[in-house]
Amino acid sequence: MTSLSTPQLVRLGHSPDPDDAFMFHALVNGKIDTGSFQFEQIHQDIETLNRRALRGELEVTALSVHAYAFLADRYRLLPSGASMGDGYGPRLVSRHALTRDELRRTPIAVPGRLTSAFLALALYLDGEFPHEVVPFDRIMEEVEAGHFAAGLLIHEGQLTYADHGLRLLADLGVFWGEREDGLPLPLGANGVRRDLGDVRILEISTLLRRSIDYALDHREEAIDYAARFGRGLDRARTDRFVGMYVNEWTRDFGPRGREAVQRFLDAGHRIGLLPTRVVADFVPAG
């Protein structure tokens, strides 16, 4: 048992990209008092974090909303830390124009089957489609080299694909918003392991909200830190990317954000990608 004088170690998993680094800056760099907790950063790509969450390995972790459907028995969703595509989102790109029918017949490079981008693309293509999982930071070069006819981009690739001579086939955030009455596309969330218990879960939730508030209130400082994680992004693009995915939705999902999450999960169930209907379990906002 952890003594009262020894901080409890909390392993905090997040992607090595600017938006996650921005929101966790205060939490891991001593900008706020973390009380009885000591946070240890774990930097891994989102599909790896999703897989680790299936095994319950991390106390707190970034995860895909799609993946949550398979690990709701182990994790609850924290009210803060959302990555929402509000009129934008993962982008499907290619060297050449392709129709939806063509896309349904040709393998697409994707960053992981459990990513929300994968589920959003399945909704766009009306179900399963031929694909191959490729590390997210190699998808552009694989498409550019002609190894795949199309690729699904997350993270900074959403801003830099044109630099590689690629064209946009579909912005899945736009697609979702048009389909779902203007709701944002729920991509990422932060999960907290259920076995920590209600008291500690609420304490961790409060700390995460304070970290996000600190970053948004000290934007230049937090951008300086986040820029270390901006693969191929200059500071201006880092700032733009962070602004896309760390904003008021990130402070709290809010009613519309929660509705978007549930609609996204329900849509995945209807097309058969999620075997059972899952009801999103959010930790109450503090």
Catalytic residue numbers, as ranges: 155
Spatial distance between the Cα atoms of 46 and 164, rounded to a whole number of angstroms: 23
Q: How far apart are CA 204 and CA 200, in angstroms?
A: 6
Q: What residues contact residue 26 under an 8 Å CB cut-off, 6+ apart?
A: 32, 210, 211, 214, 215, 218, 222
At which residue do the structure tokens 């349904």 appear? Answer: 104
Confirm if 229 and 156 have CB atoms less than 8 A apart.
no
Amino acid in position 187: L
Please report the beta strands in 111-255, taking only residues with DSSP state E, as ranges in sequence order. Answer: 131-133, 150-153, 167-171, 185-193
Please, are residues 281 and 72 in contact by the beta-carbon 8 Å criterion? yes
The sign of the CA dihedral 43, 48, 52, 53 is: positive
Q: Which residues contact 223 (CB under 8 A, 6 or more apart)?
A: 22, 235, 238, 239, 242
Residue 165 identity: G
- Nearest to 46, CA basis, from 172, 189, 171: 189
Which residue has 């402070």 as its token pair?
Answer: 251
Interatomic CA distance for residues 137 and 270, integer angstroms = 31
> Distance (Å, rounded) from C-alpha 211 to C-alpha 221?
13
